[in-house]
Amino acid sequence: MSFWNDFYGILSSDTRNILGVISGTSADGLEIALTRCIGTGKAMRVELLKHSSASFDKRFQDEVIRTYNPVNSSVDRVNSMNFSIGRKHAEYIRHFLNSTDESVDIIAYHGQTVYHDPSIGATLQIGEADIVSYETGLPVVFDFRKKDMVAGGEGAPIIPYFDWIYFDEGTYAVNLGGIANVTYVSEDFERVVAFDSGPANCLIDLTVKRFFDIDFDRNGLIASRGKVDERLLEKLIERDRSYFLRKPPKSTGREIYNEAFLDGIEYGKPEDLVRTLVRFTVHQLVESINSYLSLGKRIVVTGGGALNPVLVEDLRLLSGFEVVIPDRVFLQAKEAMGMAVLGQEFLNGVGANVPSVTGAKGRVVLGKLALP
């Protein structure tokens, strides 16, 4: 009875310390954000108490990426990696918990997306939540995407609810992880619009790994040595046209933007290919903003792409908007903080999907519960 009494206390309070945990499409590590959430809805107060970025070793990252490549993966691989990822994530989460004196009420755990196909209404995030709950001794809220899909939505993006709470009206909240997504923030919940615009770092990372044997283009140094190949840029834009022309709601992932997307692409110097992929990423993002969103005031950029000055300068040049780069802690912690907000609303029993974003028939409570 002791656990249920404690859990009832968590449910009864409107103030909770929630550990948001997410691993993005780059599969290079975990973002962990201990977040204090007070209240619900637009009035919710959100405070970052502590953040950590945990990097995976290269071997584990490669294993994860192979798991969501349909050419290399299999049912038995997905099954075994569900437990391997859960154990690895639990290890990093335990280390974080041991490093803080703050109390933690629950963990809001995204897991690792291995396949996302809104065209058939299906998505899969793995990383066994029961392992995380058992190893940490804490309740774990997980599997935040599926209920929105069940309600007819895309299941993505799921961070716009956080954007609506956190940012001012007229902000374009852009996250540049493996995939680029953008939220137009309106005070009116029904007018919030968000979608994935296409690739962010995923194609750039693949290219620098292939030609330079590094995981990512730190500080845009390789891109800064290259030149935009306009002919190649046009080919990339044409190759991406079918997704670009789809009106929101829409979402995408590495099942589209992978090695196969670059097959048959002719290029000169590898540096020019990297530079052109940066311009392609920004071009698709800006054209998507201009085509599908209301006129805003500024762009706030988070995610790893915010650390690439070549990409950021292209965004300023092509968009014409003020581009704001938050402090490094927030730009890395934001999506994990977003998971904490979803966990807060799960415990509040409040729907935290945004139907105007995902296309769902209505608001639904996102998540499931794993108990220690």
Residue 280: CATH number of its domain: 3.30.420.40
In this model, does residue 254 exceed pLDDT 90? no
CB 7 within 8 A of CB 31: no
Residues 44 and 133 in one domain: yes
Residues 337 and 323 in one domain: no
Q: What's the average model confidence in pLDDT over 5-22?
A: 94
CB 143 within 8 A of CB 368: yes
Report the distance separating Cα 61 and Cα 362, nearest Å. Answer: 36
Give the total number of structural domains in the chain. Answer: 2
Query: What pLDDT band is residue 26 in, cutting at 50, 70 and 90?
Result: confident
Residues 39 and 133 in one domain: yes
**Least confident span in 38-52, 119-133, 259-273, 308-322:** 259-273
pLDDT in tens, 90-125: 999 999 999 999 999 999 999 999 988 888 999 999
Residue with tokens 């789809």: 246
Q: What's the average model confidence in pLDDT over 40-59?
A: 95
What's 280's DSSP letter? Answer: H
Q: Which residues contact 12 (CB under 8 A, 6 or more apart)?
A: none
Residues 211 and 308 in one domain: yes
Query: What pLDDT band is residue 279 in, cutting at 50, 70 and 90?
Result: very high
Q: How many other CB atoms are there within 10 angstroms of residue 278's CB atom?
A: 29
Q: What's the average model confidence in pLDDT over 193-205?
A: 95
Q: What's the average model confidence in pLDDT over 184-209?
A: 95
Residues 244 and 110 in one domain: no
Rounded to the nearest 10°, the torsion over CA 160, 165, 166, 168 is: 90
Report the distance separating Cα 54 and Cα 247, nearest Å. Answer: 36
Report the distance separating Cα 31 and Cα 20, nearest Å. Answer: 8
Residues 196 and 322 in one domain: yes
Dihedrals phi, psi of 305, to nearest 5 degrees: -65, -25
Residues 299 and 356 in one domain: no
Residues 194 and 124 in one domain: no
Report the distance separating Cα 351 and Cα 258, nearest Å. Answer: 33
- Can you give the pLDDT at residue 5? 86
CB 312 within 8 A of CB 323: yes
The residue segments making up the domain with residue 227 are: 166-329
Sheet holding 171-176: strands in order across? 193-199, 179-184, 171-176, 298-302, 322-324
Give the type of residue at 73.
S
- Can you give the pLDDT at residue 1? 57
Residues 310 and 341 in one domain: no
Looking at the chain, how many residues does it have?
372
Percent of residues in the chain assigned helix, strand, coil, to nearest 5:
45, 20, 30
- Can you give the pLDDT at residue 126? 96
Residues 153 and 252 in one domain: no
E strands of 106-240, at which residues? 106-109, 112-117, 122-126, 140-142, 171-176, 179-184, 193-199
What's 142's DSSP letter? Answer: E
Residue with tokens 């994860």: 64
Tokens of 72: 């290399």
Residue 231, classified by CB atoms within 10 Å of its CB into exposed (0-12), middle (13-18) or buried (19+), is exposed
The helix/strand/coil state of 73 is: coil
Q: Considering all CA atoms of the chain, what is the largest pairwise distance in Å, rounded to the nearest integer?
A: 68
Tokens of 99: 């490093």
Report the distance separating Cα 65 and Cα 76, nearest Å. Answer: 15
The helix/strand/coil state of 349 is: coil
In this model, does residue 215 exceed pLDDT 90? no
Residues 55 and 93 in one domain: yes
Residues 171 and 318 in one domain: yes
Report the distance separating Cα 47 and Cα 45, nearest Å. Answer: 7
Tokens of 68: 């969501």
